[in-house]
Amino acid sequence: MSSVFGLPAAPANDLKVLITIPHFFDPSIKSGYGSTTAPAAERLASLKACIQGLQETAGTRQASLLFMHAPAKGRGGNGCLAKVNDFSPSMLDIAVCTTGATHLISEDLPPGKSFHHVQTGVQPMRLGLACHKVLQEMLGKYDYYCYLEDDILLFDPLFFVKLQWFTESFGADALLQPHRFETSGDPALHKLYIDGPVKKDFSAKWQDISQANKVVGKTLGRDFFFERPSNPHSGCFFLNASQMETWAKAPHFLDGDTSFAGPLESAASLGIMKTFRIYKPAAKSAGFLEIRHLANRYLGKRLKLR
């Protein structure tokens, strides 16, 4: 069996990951989102970093240089490279979903082995829901089904290992979401986690965070603490095959509901909030699972420290 995008299939029992990314850019539209307000060069740089970060962190083309062999000049490994990181996914497929001509995919960012360009005819604010449809169409082909906004950097090589550990520890009905953070280079504050708590009634319609509110797990020789957040949003989600199947069978799957904050936020958070008990690392363990928000919205902009 080959992958849906033409890459060789992974050996049996190896981890296969599909990541969908909604991508849109149109500065003529008035909104508060970076896809309409940020300069084109900045948005393109974020998208490139998002895709490259996935390849470098979870892609299959990773090697170590064997210094026992003198590298020959020219192309190819010439016997001096060895495959590394058997805990990384053995197959990574990235699908970037766009609509019409409102995107930055061009000669500067051509599709190919790096990612698959999925062109849709949906309204821009419904691109996230189009990603959900792609995930549904690929049921049974992957071990993880993921959604990632186009300005997020995933850089933790143990990211999927941590997700697997959490599910094994607390059950498939519990879903761990990463914290998003921003950096600014300002020594006054090195890192800012941006999805802080909100009023409980903001999400109470869809989740009761008093149920199994806190859990503790032990790994790597220490305790890690997790809690159910009033704000489940992370701009992404990562479902294993069982969780994706559960969500796809739910009556609310693809129901078009965008009532959580807005269409973009709903695409990332509402469906999973209706389906699973969502957790994030508690403050004392915040760095256990995290992703970087590349387009600063708060640090250095809305929040100025000087």
Least confident piece of the model among 1-10, 17-26, 188-197: 1-10
Domains of the chain: 16-65+80-293 (3.90.550)
26 phi/psi in degrees, rounded to 5: -160, 95
Alpha helices in the chain (DSSP H): 34-37, 40-58, 127-137, 159-170, 241-249, 263-275
Secondary structure class of 63 (helix, strand, coil): strand
Query: Stretch 90-114: mean pLDDT, rounded?
Result: 88
- What's the mean per-residue pLDDT of the chain? 88
Query: Stretch 98-107: mean pLDDT, rounded?
Result: 91
At 73 the pLDDT is: 61
At 6 the pLDDT is: 40
How far apart are alpha carbons 290 and 19 in whole angstroms? 17
How far apart are alpha carbons 88 and 160 in whole angstroms? 8
For the chain, give the percent of residues with pLDDT over 70.
Answer: 88
Query: Stretch 23-29: mean pLDDT, rounded?
Result: 86
Secondary structure class of 156 (helix, strand, coil): coil
Q: What is the token pair recorded at 107?
A: 């000669």
Split at pLDDT 50, 70, 90, the class of 98 is very high
pLDDT in tens, 209-265: 999 999 999 999 999 999 999 999 999 999 999 999 999 999 999 999 999 999 999
Higher pLDDT, 193 or 113: 193
At 61 the pLDDT is: 83
Rg of the chain over all Cα atoms, to the nearest angstrom = 20
Place of tokens 């550990």: 165
Q: Where are the beta strands (DSSP E) in the chain?
A: 16-22, 63-65, 81-83, 91-99, 116-120, 144-148, 152-153, 174-176, 179-182, 192-193, 214-219, 222-227, 236-240, 277-281, 290-293
